[in-house]
Amino acid sequence: MLGPAPSGDMTEEERALIERRRLVRLVSVVLVLLCTVFLAVMAGCMIALWDTGKSSNDLFAVINGTYVYARTQDELERRVTEPEETPAEDPSEDEGSSQEEPEGEGDGLSVVNEVAAGDGDGEKPAEEIAGDNSESGIASVEDAGYNTEAGLISGPNINVYVDPNVNYPLPFSEVDESYFEDALFIGDSRLQGFGMYSGMPGTFYAATGFQLSRYDSMEVVVTDSGKVPITQAMPYDSFTKIYIKVGLNEMGGNENAFLSKYAELITWLRECEPRAIIYIHGLLPVTASKSSSDKVHNNTNVNARNESLKKLAMEQRAYYLDVGSALAGADGSLPAEMAADGIHLKAQYMDIWKQYLLSHAIVIE
């Protein structure tokens, strides 16, 4: 393989040449063998990757030492988004508290809940309506009879179970956006616009023309199989806050029927989402121009409806949000530059609404 060996009757030069050639051939053979082995190893690795469902990126990650780090990050993310399995109860084990502490607590800044303010016309102050905690009769999972084993989705702000009406009404606190990750927003086109342009996290079941009277039939939620009503899209026990904003599209109709339907919606939502705090959005004002030209959608009617919604919130142990106060000008109207049609807030002003929600949140400790 390496060629003829030097023989005795060759000159020194010939002998050196032959040795050199033998060396070159030896090196060549070794290189070919090494390449063959390398290619065989690579082929084996690729077959193994294909067989185990990994990609070539994983191979490179193993080689450059980042594989373990990346898998660690994946595991950390998985633990945040997926529930930890509750270990079997074992008196001999010290598992500590099984309840997660709620996050998103305020930093000490709180605003007095407007709902708590009683007015002077003989209505019961909120404290009488709320009563003490024992009135609700629900202080634990066992009392409520809720099954905590099935269907609960963990998240950064979800407690195992806390009565959302405990100590109602609580004062508002300031929170950050993570508070809204398990929030549901239900409502009309204005709320839909808020969902589009505010950058607020959460789930939005909002649509143009959404009407309270048809909440169980109007198809507003996009799914893979098409649009469905919210009653078909609502998962069980997935939200700890529900924000409702309806009322503008219903103006001009029967006020009692509207409020009755609203109460019905809240009752149904509480059955689906037993841990959810219910927020009732007040209607936003309209511009002065719109108000003076529209017999139905004007600020006199908006203010009247908002008073009804405040009372409804107290009756239903929900929290009323006077978002309009953050947007209205000195005359109580929406500034003209904020809405092209006098009603729908433009994208660049959604942050005002968002900031109001961030500073008016209920945190149950």
Q: Which spans of this chain sit near other proteins (rule: CB under 8 A)?
A: 189-190, 192-193, 195-197, 204, 207-209, 219, 222-224, 226-227, 249, 339-341, 343-348
Nearer to other proteins, 190 or 275 (CB): 190
Enter the tokens of residue 41.
């190893």
The one-character DSSP state at 335 is P
- CA–CA separation, 240 vs 183, rounded Å? 6
Number of C-beta neighbours around residue 130 at 10 A: 21
C-beta closer to other proteins: residue 200 or 313: 200
Rank residues 37 and 340 by Cβ distance to other proteins and give the closer one. Answer: 340
Residue 91: CB minimum distance to other proteins, A: 47
Q: How far is the CB of 241 from other proteins (least distance, A)?
A: 19
| β partners of residue 288 | none
Closest approach of Cβ 208 to other proteins, in Å? 4
Residue with the two structure tokens 């049609």: 341
Nearer to other proteins, 128 or 224 (CB): 224
**CB nearer other proteins, residue 146 or residue 243:** 243
Per the structure block, which two tokens stand in for 206?
Answer: 């909002």
Give me the amino acid identity at 323: V
**Nearest-approach distance from CB 229 to other proteins, in angstroms:** 13
| 3 state DSSP class of 93 | coil
| Alpha-helix residue ranges (DSSP H) falling in 294-337 | 299-315, 324-327
Distance CA 331, CA 285 (A): 10
Is the separation of the CB atoms in 205 and 242 below 8 Å? no
Task: Work out how close the CB of 334 gets to other proteins at its nearest, in angstroms, rounded to a whole number.
Answer: 12
Find the shortest distance in angstroms from Cβ 195 to other proteins.
Answer: 7
Q: Side chain identity at 256, as an amino acid letter?
A: N
* Complex with other proteins: residue 55 or 348, whichever CB lies closer: 348
The one-letter code for the residue type at 193 is G
